[in-house]
Amino acid sequence: MKYFNKDIRGTSAAFHGIVSKLGDVVVKPEQPGSDEESKTLFESGNHALLQIDDSKSFRDDVAIGRYLATKGSKKDQLLGTSIFDQSKVDQWLTWTNQNIRFSAQAIMDHVTGNSSADTLDFKSANGNLRSSLKFLNTQLKDKTTLVGSETTIADIYLACHLVRAFQLILETGFRKGIANVSIYTIPGIHSFCVLSNL
């Protein structure tokens, strides 16, 4: 199994690194080799590639995280202990992609000067992120994890996408209105950052 990531300090690398560390799976990022698939990684829009063997690979961040979780010693915890919990994990992964990932990235691109014509409108992205965080705040009332009582890949994926937003753009006044997210995220940010070197 070979793992390639063109942004080793980015969100996808953090997500994959945390999942592999929590699951006790050894995955060390490599530089692209002589094989065509790893070479094309840097030419495509993908950030990561997990090459299982010469004929099997994953390029999607969530698929890579899920596969790494299945190989680890904490598979049931990370993926969910029941079919219902596994489906809820999938639901939260999809929700994070649709409601947090793209809005947070668009805002970060704007703040860091990396925005382009393809980047979402800042005002729209900011509104989407803030309304999504308000929804998340209600979902986390009296809870510390998204699904069940253990940290799953859904928690890790969400926290990885919120790290930079909490560090750079979500001001203290707004955080007061999403206290459940702040309580959920801030301890997670610290431990996740330590694990992933963010």
What does the domain layout of the chain look like in residue ranges? 2-74, 80-196
What's the confidence (pLDDT) of residue 194?
A: 46
How sure is the predictor about 1, in pLDDT bands with cuts at 50, 70 and 90?
confident
What letter would DSSP give residue 35?
Answer: S
- Do residues 15 and 157 lie in contact, with contact meaning Cβ atoms separated by under 8 Å? yes
Transcribe 117-163 into DSSP letters: TTSPPHHHHHHHHHHHHHHHHHHTTT-SSSSTTS--HHHHHHHHHHH
**Residue 178: pLDDT above 70?**
yes
Query: What's this model's pTM, rounded to 2 decimal places?
Result: 0.85
pLDDT tens across 142-177, in order?
888 899 888 899 999 998 888 878 877 778 888 888
Q: How far, CA to CA in Å, does 133 sit from each of 47, 88, 123, 182?
A: 26, 18, 15, 10
What's the confidence (pLDDT) of residue 11?
A: 85
Burial class (CB in 10 A: 0-12, 13-18, 19+), 8: middle
CA dist., res. 87 & res. 117, Å (int): 36
β 29-30/2-5 pair status:
parallel
How sure is the predictor about 126, in pLDDT bands with cuts at 50, 70 and 90?
confident
Share of the chain above pLDDT 70, in %: 80
Could you tell me the fold of the domain covering 80-196? Glutathione S-transferase Yfyf (Class Pi); Chain A, domain 2 (1.20.1050)
Over residues 46-75, mean pLDDT: 88
What's the confidence (pLDDT) of residue 198?
A: 45
